Amino acid sequence: MSSSDSLFERAKRLIPGGVNSPVRAFRSVGGAPFFVKAARGATLVTADDRELIDFVCTWGPAIHGHNHPRIRAAIGAALENGTSFGTPNPLEVEMAELITRFVPSIQKVRMCNSGTEATMSTIRLARGFTKRDKIIKFAGCYHGHSDSLLIKAGSGALTHGHPDSAGVPASFARETIVLPYNDRAAVEAALTANPGQVAGVILEPYCGNVGFIMPDPGYLAFLRAITAKHGVVLIFDEVMTGFRIARGGVQEREAIVPDLTCLGKIIGGGLPVGAFGGRAEIMDLLAPLGPVYQAGTLSGNPLAMAAGIAGLRLLEEENPYQRLDFLGRQLREAVLGACRAKGLPVQVPQCGSMFSIFFTDAPVRDYATALRGDAKLFGRFFHACLAEGVYLAPSAYEAGFLSTAHDGVALTRACEVLSGAIAAL
């Protein structure tokens, strides 16, 4: 039995499903997950001493590749001073200054420990600010696992066939209106049908949890205008896209100014971090200033701040976005070319270092069209790539990620593997 197999057997005895996050379980692609003991650059080293070229990048944070020396050094230096103080610390201020400089719509920001905490807190803020209860989200968008948002959710919830989680009271679910993404009429109808009742609209401005889906031209501007008109808080969940699609996230690339923004992943440099921020008049409702409570023992943790600051400074120095888009286009062209040669219908939406592969002939623009992709074929493709040392997200409903460390041999090899796997399907 391989080391991963024996670790998985032990894990399953004590950890539900043997994993600490469902999407890691390979349930939708079949087979058992491998365990990783080390990671560096574009490579994972498994417990079985296999080296894999990684396109999951720990679900987004590793935009500089794994274990970047600058991030490692920053954590080491911070560690000399201790791990957690439970008081304000200088690094939190530096992080707040960086985030507000990179994302000008964020006038004030609060650190927390995960993307889930960030999105959950913005929902509470929107409700506190507007004194309204209803929230609009979009089918397939995943905003973490807080009750109000685990309705028609993407990512692992969709992957495992439970987009509406058990355990969420009907009274909670009633306050969440779920609409199709990219459907303007649906938003107009929902706001007309619920006058003065909708506190906020939350969305992934580019979806990364139902595969990678971009908005129709003008859709984000439409949402900005209609939410302003109805006094509804517009929340961009940029936990995945923040600092990845552009230094200022999707809102920079699309020149849209949301009221609140959720962040995570990259800003932690691989350590547990979330953040949310936006208009000061909304953020100042937060305790200790105002009546909306939110808190966290390890929020602004010095090690996580040091790692995140090092990663953001590296982005500022390298400005890798054009380079990452060039790498993403290479991968896209390799998959499109191989599928064309095979006569296999495929969509490969890609922007910068985010992409996904849908085996379907119809363009994918929302939850319904994403589900038309051949998930079984994706599972076979996933394992064919894994067998050759390339690790894609273990689900047809996730985004793939590139890092600056993929530039060169890793991407060349990966494109060969992806093309070969398609030819052999």
Q: Which residues are at the interface with ligand KE4 (CB under 6 A)?
A: 21, 23, 59, 114-116, 119, 142-144, 155-156, 204, 208-209, 237, 239-240, 264, 274, 398
Q: Around Cβ 49, how many Cβ atoms within 10 Å?
A: 10
Task: For the beta carbon of residue 382, count every other beta carbon within 10 angstroms.
Answer: 25
Q: Report in angstroms how near the CB of residue 208 gets to ligand KE4 at its nearest.
A: 6
Nearest to ligand KE4 of 165, 330 (CB atom)? 165
Respond yes or no: is residue 237 known to be catalytic. Answer: yes
Nearest-approach distance from CB 249 to ligand KE4, in angstroms: 11
Pairwise CA distance, residues 368 & 394, whole Å: 20
User: How many Å apart are CA 87 and CA 138, to the nearest integer?
Assistant: 38
Residue 385 contacts by C-beta under 8 Å, 6 or more apart in sequence? 391, 392, 417, 418, 421
Strand partners, 36: 46
**Cβ atoms of residues 387 and 53 within 8 Å:** no
Output 209 or 350, the one with its CB closest to ligand KE4. Answer: 209
In the complex, least distance from residue 398 CB atom to ligand KE4, rounded to whole angstroms: 5
Q: Among residues 400 and 407, whose Cβ is nearest to ligand KE4?
A: 400
Annotated catalytic, 142?
yes
The residue annotated as part of the active site, out of 54, 237, 259, 366, is 237
Q: Where are the beta strands (DSSP E) in 86-232?
A: 108-112, 134-138, 176-179, 198-203
**Region class of 243: left (phi > 0), else alpha (psi between -120 and 50), else beta:** left
C-alpha to C-alpha distances, 250 to 57, 85, 156, 227, 261, nearest whole angstrom: 19, 34, 23, 18, 11
Give me the least distance between CB of 285 and ligand KE4, in Å please.
22
DSSP string spanning 308-326? Answer: HHHHHHHHHHH-THHHHHH
Q: Tell me the closest approach of the beta carbon of residue 156 to ligand KE4, in angstroms.
A: 5
For the question of residue 397 being annotated catalytic, the response is no
CA distance 174 to 323: 45
Structure token digits, residue 197: 């009742």
Nearer to ligand KE4, 112 or 190 (CB): 112
Report the residue number, 274 or 311, with the smaller CB distance to ligand KE4: 274
Q: Which of 340, 383, 378, 341 is nearest to 358 (CA)?
A: 378
Q: Which is nearer to ligand KE4, 236 or 321 (CB)?
A: 236
List 152, 265, 367, 407, catalytic entry:
265
Question: How far apart are CB 301 and ligand KE4 at their closest, in Å?
Answer: 14
Catalytic positions are 142, 237, 265
